Amino acid sequence: MAATETLTAERILEATEEVLRRYGPAKATVVDVARVLGVSHGSVYRHFRTKAALREAVTERWLERTIVALRPYVGAGGPADERLTEWLTALFALKRKKAGGDPELMATFQVLIGENSAVVDRHEEHLVEQIAHIVEDGHREGLFAAPERDFTTTARAVFHATDRFHNPAHAADWSAPGVEEAFTAVVSLVQRALRA
Amino acid sequence: MAATETLTAERILEATEEVLRRYGPAKATVVDVARVLGVSHGSVYRHFRTKAALREAVTERWLERTIVALRPYVGAGGPADERLTEWLTALFALKRKKAGGDPELMATFQVLIGENSAVVDRHEEHLVEQIAHIVEDGHREGLFAAPERDFTTTARAVFHATDRFHNPAHAADWSAPGVEEAFTAVVSLVQRALRA
DNA sequence: GGAGTGACAGATATTGAAATCTGTCATCGG
DNA sequence: CCGATGACAGATTTCAATATCTGTCACTCC
């Protein structure tokens, strides 16, 4: 049996995700994680100093997946304005799918997010940088006007303006009728604001 | 003593606010409200069918105050683009002041908001109508371009784009360094989007 | 007659004792 | 040696008994 594999941080993170998925954020314990792995909970503490650190690492992994999923839209071909709309639409679709497909998992995720604001801040900076990259491309292509201050500030404004459509805090609104239209209207507003 | 005043819905609402302020949303009971008024809790039920209805009425009253406070910025003189910035700034300032001045009261308010989404939806429609009014003025004045669909849709997009700066769900972010700049950047984005 | 009452049943919240969990560390065994 | 263990102290959570609250209604008293 492969159960005698060495205990790695990676395997612990996978088990932790599994436990969080199964029991939710309130009931998931380090002892549960150890049980899933067939080791004592002391072993888990050899890789993660605290339960909080373990949860933080899971959160980071989780958020990283979004970054990776969106990366293609940054570097893809085609005009930057279209790429921006695609990027924003992809982000919304991703979040919406997660929220709609498994509301409990989304709730779990939201709790983790609330616990790890520093990680979330760094994650948001990554996303802002992706937007900034597209906006800068758009400026070079002559599609977007020069930013009022700098690309990152403009990108952050775009990120904030679309907050309602990617921030998990608003997940409950994403199944309301008319969200599609509301999203399109905001994206359209953003496009008009950037247009040269 | 004036304590023998007749029991009105108004007096009950005031007492309820007082109780919510003092005990918070989890511990505030109808019995507490009755005690403050010096009546039996049965009397309170004569004016409000349920505890939920009582809380809903408080929420409505609370939200109504924002509508009233912002009304001046809608009808004021001056160019519509400036009025829009002033309206958005006033809304942000109002919410921020409440959140910063008494975080516990804000938390209480947030719980009530969560319980009464229908009331909140109606409230948001009122705010959107105020924005729509200003945007329509701006179009008449030649400052804003014709809306892509209609004034209400554009207004709603403006409301959603600035969500992060008025939605109590984000209250925690309003004391972070750089919020002012972030707010200004989003308002500036919105202005650029509307400009003729 | 109609605003106000208070006893009541069922639902919800509080409390404190018992169970479980977190994080440490001396010790084990390969 | 060095990763893994499990007993342990203190912190946190669970659970069930107890208390309080919600909503109703027959009644009172002005």
**Percent of chain A having pLDDT more than 90?**
95
In three-state secondary structure terms, B34 is: helix
* Protein-proximal positions, strand C, CB < 7 A: 3-7, 13-14, 20-26
Q: What is the pLDDT of residue A2?
A: 35
- Does residue B196 sit at the A interface (CB-CB below 8 Å)? no
Strand C atom within 7 Å of A98 CB: no
Virtual CA dihedral for B131, B136, B141, B145, nearest 10 degrees? 100
CA/C1' separation B49–D23 (Å): 9
Q: What is the pLDDT of residue B2?
A: 35
- CB of A151 within 8 A of CB of A136? yes
- CB of B115 within 8 A of CB of B50? no
Query: Residue A9, Cβ neighbours under 10 Å: how many?
Result: 13
Q: What is the pLDDT of residue B3?
A: 43
pLDDT tens sequence across A66-101 = 999 999 999 888 999 999 999 999 999 999 999 999
Residue B88 has pLDDT above 60, yes or no: yes
pLDDT tens sequence across A122-177 = 999 999 999 999 999 999 999 999 999 999 999 999 999 999 999 999 999 999 99
Tokens 């980071």 label which residue?
A: A60
Chain A residue numbers touching B170 (CB-CB < 8 A): 163, 169
Instruction: Compute the average pLDDT of residues B140-164.
Output: 97
User: What is the distance in angstroms between the Cα of A125 and the nearest Cα belonging to chain B?
Assistant: 13
User: Which residues are B195's β-sheet partners?
Assistant: B144
Q: Which nucleotide is nearest to B54 (CA to C1')?
A: D22
Catalogue all structural domains in chain B, each as residue range(s) with its CATH number: 1-48 (1.10.10.60), 55-194 (1.10.357.10)
Q: How far is CA A91 from CA A38, A79, A81, A84, A143, in A?
A: 37, 18, 15, 11, 22
| Confidence band, pLDDT 50/70/90 cuts, at residue B6 | confident
Burial class (CB in 10 A: 0-12, 13-18, 19+), A87: buried
Query: Residue A152, Cβ neighbours under 10 Å: how many?
Result: 16
Q: What six digits make up the tokens of A189?
A: 């507003």
Indicate the angle between helix axes B80-101 and B117-140, nearest 10 degrees: 150
CA atoms B135, B136, B137, B142: torsion sign: positive
Pick the residue from chain A with its C-alpha nearest to B190: A193
CA/C1' separation B41–D22 (Å): 10
Instruction: Compute the average pLDDT of residues A109-129.
Output: 97
Query: Residue A4, Cβ neighbours under 10 Å: how many?
Result: 6
Q: What is the pLDDT of residue A147?
A: 95
d(CA B35, CA B41): 8
Tokens 């809608």 label which residue?
A: B74
- CB of B87 within 8 A of CB of B69? no
